[in-house]
Structure 1
């Protein structure tokens, strides 16, 4: 990039792009939001005007053909993640793609055959947030003792039949949308991969999506992660990391408010009712901007990309196993 900022193009006017990622790009140190595309030109133009973006395109293909764009952010519906990411890489662009990166591991594996000089990453912004980084530092320090159990709950309520999260054929449902964060927490904090999983799914009779999924992931060495995720329960999210000496609680583990301080809590259990709890405040940040910088520095070669296409394929293997377990009604190995 010769010291210049990475020029980002955004595919579609999806809400997460307009409200989260584009502001993150603008707050980042390495990136600039330079173009946006929609299948409706007027939508792209309106978004460009609102967000101060120079170029607006009426098709994704026009954006991908722009030689002045270095990287693409892909927040399209799940079934379009791989096809458009492949198009973007073949057009010479690096791609930050929304999660989940595919509908299954076989589809995600297509990304491994693309040119290696173009980087692909899944938009798990949580790994760039200082609260997750600090929590893992505490785990690795041994302050919790031996981390043995991770408990995750993540829910919201959405019964709109027109919402893409409620459309089974394009990758809707709780596991795809938010369950991926819970299994990621196990991989991140245990520094390991699950060996086998078992899950229970409640499907919406109208949508066919999993509206509530519960699961247990076995990470070996008697390390367990269990979670409940739902698209039709009271909005709530909380992750607990429980060791032999202390428990660490991440208060807002996924949707940490942009530009606001957050808290993680430590409790040795010496007094019941959280009375022994100690709080650590994490300074305000924009986790989307932080991830843009992680990806940007990997593009320039300043830092390696630790979580690329191979990591995204592994995420899909775990999701595949969770779906397979629900269908089978028992344990499924992660292969």
Structure 2
């Protein structure tokens, strides 16, 4: 007996990220894109997006959420809209895969958690599902590099258009919530907990209303720390390193997409080696894992506890930069 198909709706069919995630959902066995929606009045653009999937087009998000033939929704809206539409989707009885950041505060993650009884809701940190990331988790757990002491992570890509929604503070813009969250999320899963203190320094290129670059430290106590940088002003840069007492693991293309070969370098006192993994689509792996969580009622790989912790750290980094002080969590 085959598992029932998971029928997806896409909120934000004109978002760039939807052009990568929705096709991956649709070509993954057991999943189909059934309906799409953009803001009211944008049905023509939504129609072009929906055509390859044979999906219905709804004129507005509420209409899609009222569709009884949608089981789960993928939310690809501006950051400031993630919480309200996640809550509305859950109230409509839909499972939710929400683009990161799910929320800009821990308190909003708690609201989502309280509304999610009986439904699967997860934050779409796609890199966590990539076989490359799974391999790094295995290597770290093996103890080959000893006790983890330092995480160094950087994610940057130059963005020249200030008309991009990522430059709009009202929409939850800024480098911290767009690229920085990948860098500090890396430290959080690697150490398996939140830091005790953080310190961040923000830069606002050309007087931008949001942070466009940042450098930050996360103090996990007992000599354990993370050093991160992220930016819209320079790049490309996409890597992290896990430094242990007996060696290190470096991931050269940390947030690899479906066309990127993956290279992991392990250095210990016995020498160094490189592990090359073939390209893989992290969005397909994310869909498979989400479907399995829905089918079994198990916790998704990126749990709401993870999301609460990540949001709490993001809030602390913003507060640290604003007050020019160290912030204790």
TM-score normalised to structure 1 length: 0.92
Unaligned runs of 5+ in 2: none
Offset, 1:159: 2.9
Distance, in Å, in 2 between the alignment partners of 1:250 and 1:14 is 28
Q: Deviations over 1:170-226 (max 9, x none)?
A: 111110101111111111122222111111111234321111111111122211111
Deviation of 1:302 (Å): 6.2
Q: For residue 147 of structure 1, report the CA deviation from its aligned partner.
A: 1.3
Structure 1 counterpart of 2:38: 38
Match of 2:94 in 1: 93
How far 1:132 sits from its partner (Å)? 1.1
Q: How many residues align?
A: 326
Contact 2:263 / 2:276 at 8 angstroms: preserved in 1? yes
Identify the match of residue 292 of structure 1 among 270, 275, 287. Answer: 287
Q: What's the counterpart of residue 106 of structure 1?
A: 107
Structure-2 separation of matches of 1:101 and 1:192: 19
What is the TM-score when the length of structure 2 is the normalising length? 0.94
- Structure 1 residues not aligned, in runs of 5+: 271-275
- Shift in Å, 1:119: 1.7
SS of equivalent residue, structure 2 residue 46: helix
**Equivalent runs, 1:109-188 vs 2, <5 Å:** 109-188=110-189
1:318 corresponds, among 297, 313, 316, to 313
**Partners of 2:180 and 2:134 in 1: CA distance:** 20
Distance in 2 of aligned mates of 1:142 and 1:190: 13
Counterpart of 1:157 in 2: which secondary structure? coil
Q: 1:273: which partner in 2?
A: none
Counterpart of 2:71 in structure 1 is: 70
Q: Which moved more, 1:7-16 or 1:276-285?
A: 276-285
Aligned to 1:258: 258
Cα distance in structure 1, aligned partners of 2:98 and 2:181: 14
Aligned counterpart, 1:6: 6
- SS of 2:183 mapped into structure 1: helix
**Structure 1 CA distance, aligned partners of 2:18 and 2:257?**
15
Report the Cα offset of residue 326 of structure 1. Answer: 1.1
